Amino acid sequence: MAIVLEGSQQNTLGSTTVTYSYTVPVATNTILVIGIATSTADPPSAITYNTVAMTRLAGDTSGNNGTAIWYLVNPSSGANTVSMTISGDSDGTKRIVTATFSGVHQTTPFGTPATNSGLAGTASTVSVSSASGEVVVDLVHGLGGVTSLTKDASQTLIQAITRTGMSYEAGAASVSMDWTWATSADWEAIGGSLKPVAVALAPQGAMTGVGQ
């Protein structure tokens, strides 16, 4: 079963506790993925969807900003509330991308995540271990005067919010997720590879010998 992006949205929010509504479409073997970038080095300490706790895949606070990816397998379908608790960033901006994928392994949804960061550059990259049939998802955040991002042509855009973007790409042994922008700035990037549902092989029927 192939992994499919079923839907996404973007939100730009403030306040210490961030709450917004997101609709998970009806699909099979789904995962909810949230990428968040904060304007200070204070990523969420907790996130829930429909009051169910989400799991943090990875994060980066190497700059003066914070980025993180969180996920929840088999989320409730329909419109429900996402609630994030963030300490120390009450005056900061939160750029949030929320996405739903189907066809994802429900026990081991992600492989080993990767993070990377840089100072005073106009391009980001993060290399993610993956495999054929998997789908790599990434989150990038540029600091300073970054006003727009451009993904690599091999990637499919999920959402972009000025200096924050999320995309995906078909898996291979190693996948490089790359973005560029015009103004030199610090940056942070996170990537993880979604694993597909295992395909069960149909049992072979008994062979009937000739002359039996």
120 φ/ψ sector (left φ>0, alpha ψ -120 to 50, else beta) = left
**Is the separation of the CB atoms in 10 and 97 below 8 Å?**
yes
Distance between CA atoms of residues 119 and 23, nearest Å: 37
Q: What band does 210 get if pLDDT is binned at 50, 70 and 90?
A: very low
**This prediction's pTM:** 0.92
What are 156-176's pLDDT values in tens digits? 999 999 999 999 999 999 999
Mean pLDDT of the chain: 90
Distance, CA of 165 to CA of 96 (rounded, Å): 9
Q: Is the pLDDT of residue 209 over 90?
A: no
Both tokens of 185, joined, read 């700035």
Q: What are phi and psi of 200, to 5 degrees?
A: -80, 130
Token couple for 14:
């403030």
d(CA 98, CA 129): 23
Residue 208 has pLDDT above 80, yes or no: no
The C-alpha atoms of residue 131 and residue 112 are separated, in whole angstroms, by: 12
Least Cα distance to 125 among 137, 135, 116 occurs for 116
pLDDT digits (tens, 9 = 90+) for 62-107: 766 789 999 999 999 999 999 998 876 555 788 999 999 999 999 9
pLDDT confidence of 17, banded at 50, 70, 90?
A: confident
Q: Which own/partner contact pairs does 11-16 have at CB distance under 8 Å and 24+ positions apart? A: 11/94, 11/95, 11/96, 11/98, 12/93, 12/94, 12/95, 12/96, 12/161, 13/93, 13/94, 13/96, 14/90, 14/91, 14/92, 14/93, 14/94, 15/90, 16/85, 16/86, 16/87, 16/89, 16/90
Query: Residue 50: is its pLDDT beyond 50?
Result: yes
